[in-house]
Amino acid sequence: MATGRRGKGEGSIYRRRDGQWVGSVDLGPQGGRRRRKTVYGRTQKEVRDKLRALQRTVDAGSLPPPANLTVARYLEDWLVRFLPGTVSPRTEVIYRNAVDRYVVPTVGSVKLHQLSPAHVSEMLVTLEAQGYAPETRRIARAVLRRALRRAEQEGFLTRNVAAIADGVKIPRREGRTLTPEQAQAFLREVKGDRLEAAYVMALALGLRRGELLGISWDDLKLDGPMPLVRIRRQLLRHSGQGVLLADLKTAGSRRTLHLSQPLVNLLRTHQAGQDAEEQAARIWRNPANLVFTSTIGTPLDPEAFGRTVPRICKRAGLGHWSIHELRHSCASLLLAMGVPLEVVSDTLGHASIRVTMDVYGHLLAPSRMHAAEAMRRALWIDDLPDFDPLATELATNRAKDDTGDGLNWDSVGRPGLDPGTLGLKVPCSSG
């Protein structure tokens, strides 16, 4: 007697000699091979129900990963096949380091399809117990979240458990910033240095070290009434490949900044010195036409260049300051001088003004006082005497400083200070 056809999702079902029922369903091709998923049960109905549930998952666009696929194996495949080319070489190194040092040792042995938000939370707790900083734990979760997003796209997972798990709370740290007097001391110390123009641009424009060393002479426009520099590439050190010149990835990072006449003069002096070095060198290697190079034209190592800044600051009697703190100082001085937040954000190449606000929002008190004074003048100008909000803010903070409370404005640059006294007015504020 003929039997009816199996319904969709029933696959092939049979009973083994030991009495256990087995069913399988074709999941289609993957990686050049056809995959089948097998399920087991004590009864034919149990297996049939499992197969139908599996078919519904497949129809919804999800493919269950191999039962023995661990998080560690999946991440290794992701690092090799999917990550390269989607991030900068330096970021790729950071991601691999996070996988190898933080993620795999904690959740690498878990089967991918069994990974849960609890596993991710446990990973973060374990890393904290091992003494890792909040930022390190945040990176570990972020890398896992990005990798699992790919697993979602492949249909291996129906949800991203790393995104569901609670994140890491990062305490806000207000970075140090040079005062105008300290910035001037830094400028005096680098005066006459072979790379003086590089150090001044780092402070005046708030450039990242890779962006600074990635500038070519083709990116500069020194003639005309509006000298400019285009920030479009960065010099990076890639593990195993040395120093590489790479395009900036985001539109916010690619930007054009104005140059003041003092910076133009410094760059022209630097250009003359570089021309003399090229004439004196037996071999000159500068195919990218970089502005800042070694004495034979080869690219500068960004990490080695960054290490020179603390030494310069110590010679100037300023103590230890990093090159990143020069960038932070530029932003803080701009805000202290009343430059709008959106201009500062554009100058620094932040992805959004929200990033700038998160980092430097605590420096906006003078601007907020200006807003309050503007509304006072609009509504009550005939009722109250005029007052200077900046002078009031300074007096208040100085009184608090005398008692050990409040913010010391000397640590962020003094609001209301004439920016001309810094000698950096145009290059900082017009970017």
* Span 243-282, pLDDT tens digits: 888 888 788 889 999 999 999 999 999 999 999 999 999 9
Sheet strand arrangement including 21-30: 12-15, 21-30, 33-41
Cβ pair 165, 117 in contact under 8 A: yes
Question: From CA 375, how far away is CA 371, in angstroms rounded?
Answer: 6
Contact 255, 349 (CB under 8 A): yes
Between residues 46 and 372, the one the model is more confident about: 46
Query: CA dihedral in degrees (192, 194, 196, 201; nearest 10)?
Result: 160
Comparing 389 with 58, the larger pLDDT belongs to 58
* Residue-level pLDDT at 33: 63
pTM above 0.75, yes or no: no
CB 237 within 8 A of CB 93: no
Residue 388: band (very low, low, confident or very high) from pLDDT cuts 50, 70, 90 = low
pLDDT of residue 38: 76
Predicted confidence (pLDDT) per residue in 88-143, tens digit: 777 888 899 999 999 999 999 999 989 999 999 999 999 999 999 999 999 999 99
**What residues does 293 pair with on adjacent strands?**
299
Give bridge partners of residue 352 from the DSSP assignment.
Answer: none
The strand pairing partners of 234, in sequence order, are: 246
User: Is the predicted pLDDT of residue 386 greater than 60, yes or no?
Assistant: no
Q: In which band, very low, low, confident or very high, does the pLDDT at 373 lie, cut at 50, 70 and 90?
A: confident
Task: Give the C-alpha separation, 309 to 319, whole Å.
Answer: 11
Name the more confident of 428 and 331.
331
Beta bridge partners of 255: 231
Exposure pattern of 135-172 as b/e (b: 16+ CB <10 Å)? Answer: ebbbbbbbbbbbbbebbeebbbbeebbbbebeebeeee
User: How far is 351 from 252, CA to CA, in rounded Å?
Assistant: 5
Q: CA dihedral in degrees (229, 232, 237, 240; nearest 10)? A: -140
CB 177 within 8 A of CB 269: no
